[in-house]
Structure 1
């Protein structure tokens, strides 16, 4: 196993950062360059990253993301946006209609490109010994991010990434067995429930050990609850803000 794969497979989300250690501008530049080197659709490069270090801004964004304190406590917060503003300028320069934003395809493309970019950024940061945690909570109150960071039309915040030096490293959370997530030639739906039952036991034990017995919840119950009522604030704010930014899919 090479060093890159070791880094990837050793990933864990960090939420406790050393306040005495900063992340240098040079490190952030390397991380962003790695993110931008990632594949993207039609070389449209539909991603823009905004670095935020200002304590006042980070505090506001931390609250907007669901009171995730690590957003303000870590030295660097990166906001990853899907960005079709440059594509709009390209259309204007060449006298063509800008039709992609009329279709859901734009959101799929932009979100995919952000996902690929943020994955590369995670690997780059962790290769430096830094800790990270992605912040999907930016979509709880996306308009705050749009307004505070001056995002123009056709730019929408998809996810944040907190970066700093770990103060503590959590245990690695078990993943679903590959039999569930890696299949050959065709999708086998018949294996999924048995695997979920087994995985629920694994996660329940992991949570109990991690919380000294205070929480023994399993995977399926958490997922079921979140996709029932837990995502309501995202549903309330995501679509209106995307459309406010110019994406007019039906």
Structure 2
């Protein structure tokens, strides 16, 4: 196993950071790794907004549900689906640009942002930095769009906190590999038992974490946590904000 794979497998989300800046060279390396990832048709329909300003990070932390580690870390990266860029190509070639109005466009922009963020995570962690992805940049999307001055046909997909860890959090167990990776076809018949087994593993993990923090409310398991999160659309402002940005999703 090479060092890259070891670094990836050692991943854990960090929610406490030192008051220590990261160098311009390290940040550039992270961004270059993100940009190197493939994109659909080489459309490169994504951009990254780098936020270092303390006041702006504090506002983003507030908009994301008071996630203070956003304000605490030196850098926050916002990965943006960007069809403003590709629409310029349409205008230049006197062709209509419709992809952003389709569900396919939303999926393409979102997936390409995910690929880029994955590379940014690997790059950052390979240099000893800590990260935590933030989906809640979509919690108050219209305010986030205004704060970042995002033009039409763009949308903030997710953010990434980057900095030096104050301490390493415990690594969460994953489902067994044979449950994650299906051979030839999806093995639906095995999934219920896999969830039952994984709940036992995660209940033990959360129990240990609760004993360390003294917060008994943290005692749960995977299915209970996921079921509680997915009983509603927890970022209901996303769809109307998408429509306003031109992502009609009607094609």
TM-score by length of structure 2 reads: 0.96
Query: Which residue does 1:105 correspond to in 2?
Result: 104
1:18 equivalenced with 2:21 (yes/no): no
**Counterpart in the other structure of 1:8:** 8
Aligned-residue RMSD, C-alpha: 0.9
Deviations 1:63-106 (A, max 9, x none): 00111000101010000001011110000000011111221000
SS of the aligned residue for 2:230 comes to helix
The CA distance in 2 between the partners of 1:85 and 1:62, in whole Å, is: 26
Secondary structure class of the residue paired with 1:160: strand
1:225 partnered with 2:228: yes
Q: Distance in 2 between matches of 1:161 and 1:196?
A: 29
Distance in 2 (CA, whole Å) between partners of 1:130 and 1:188 is 37
Deviation larger for 212-221 or 185-194: 212-221
Q: CA deviation at 1:125?
A: 0.2
Q: Which SS does the other structure have where 2:38 is aligned? A: coil
CA–CA distance in structure 1, aligned partners of residues 100 and 142 of structure 2: 19
* Residue 157 (1) aligns with residue 156 (2): yes
- Number of the residue aligned with 1:242: 242
Structural mapping, 1:12-161, within 5 Å: 12-19=12-19, 21-161=20-160
Q: Which runs of 5+ in 2 are unaligned?
A: none
Deviation track 1:18-52 (CA, whole Å, cap 9, x = no partner) reads 11x11112211110000000011000001100011
1:172 correspondence with 2:171:
yes
Secondary structure of the structure 2 residue equivalent to 1:246: coil
How far off is 1:114 after superposition? Answer: 0.3
Deviation >6 Å, runs of 4+: none
The alpha carbon displacement at 1:210 in A equals 1.3
CA distance in 2 between partners of 1:148 and 1:65 (Å) = 13
Partner Cα separation in structure 2 for residue 119 and residue 150 of structure 1: 25
CA distance in 1 between partners of 2:102 and 2:81 (Å): 15
Aligned residue for 1:14, secondary structure, equals coil
Look up the SS of the partner of 1:207 in the other structure: helix
The answer (yes or no) to whether the contact 1:61–1:144 under 8 Å persists in 2 is no
- What secondary structure does 1:159 align onto? strand
Q: Distance in 1 between matches of 2:133 and 2:17?
A: 14
Gaps of 5+ in 1: none
CA distance in 1, matches of 2:18, 2:145: 29
CA distance in 2, matches of 1:28, 1:12: 20
